[in-house]
């Protein structure tokens, strides 16, 4: 199969599930994204981010992955929801803690506004926990509506830098020492 679209997906977790810690949830979600029709072509570093807007909630583990696929954006979104369900995501309230959160950030340069899907994700430009990891992968990606690069959008949220820190490799290795099934 030939892949033609580059897609970015945010991956986050701030609650453990029976399979493991938030770091393991993020790793497992990335593993579940790989298939015959989806190719994972990049993954950012992992970041620990203060939960927003509820700062008293557990901190999030965040990353962004780059994918390539030819499936329609709506079908990809459905696949992300299936993975969330598989990893124990229960939707309670907006911004509530969660075992996994998969957000379709961008699908090539497509702009979609439907009841079910908005692309690019409407809150990209205000989220340090999306922009910093995305910057690891492609700081030059240009938002098709705002006409700004990831770098420029990241610069505009500089005041949020105190909310995010890169996780050391050892923390991820220690979290991953238990086999993911």
Q: What dihedral angle (degrees, nearest 10) is formed by the CA atoms of 142, 143, 149, 153?
A: -170
Known catalytic residue at 36:
no
Cis peptide before 120 (omega within 30 of 0): yes
Nearest-angstrom CA–CA distance, 85 and 138: 29
Q: Which of 36, 75, 89, 136 is catalytic?
A: 89
Known catalytic residue at 147:
no
Q: Which of 45, 57, 101, 155 is catalytic?
A: 101
Nearest-angstrom CA–CA distance, 118 and 105: 9
Q: Which of 98, 127, 147, 155 is catalytic?
A: 98
> Tokens 């490799």 identify what position?
169
Nearest-angstrom CA–CA distance, 23 and 141: 26
Nearest-angstrom CA–CA distance, 114 and 140: 27
Known catalytic residue at 115:
no
Mind telling me the catalytic residues? 89, 98, 101, 103
């Amino acid at each position: 199969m030939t892949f033609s679209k580059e897609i970015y997906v945010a991956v986050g977790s701030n609650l453990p599930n029976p399979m493991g810690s938030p770091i393991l949830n993020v790793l497992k979600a990335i593993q579940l994204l790989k298939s015959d029709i989806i190719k994972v072509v990049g993954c950012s570093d992992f970041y620990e981010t203060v939960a927003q807007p509820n700062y008293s909630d557990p901190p999030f583990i965040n990353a962004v992955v780059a994918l390539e696929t030819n499936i329609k954006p709506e079908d990809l979104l459905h696949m992300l929801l299936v993975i969330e369900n598989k990893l124990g995501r229960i939707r309670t309230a907006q911004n509530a803690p969660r075992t996994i959160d998969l957000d379709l950030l961008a699908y090539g340069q497509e702009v979609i506004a439907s009841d079910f899907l908005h692309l690019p994700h409407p809150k990209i430009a205000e989220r340090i926990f999306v922009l910093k990891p995305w910057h690891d992968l492609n700081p030059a990606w240009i938002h098709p509506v705002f006409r700004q690069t990831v770098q420029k959008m990241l610069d505009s949220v500089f005041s949020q830098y105190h909310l995010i820190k890169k996780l050391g490799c050892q923390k991820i290795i220690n979290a991953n020492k238990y086999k993911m099934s």
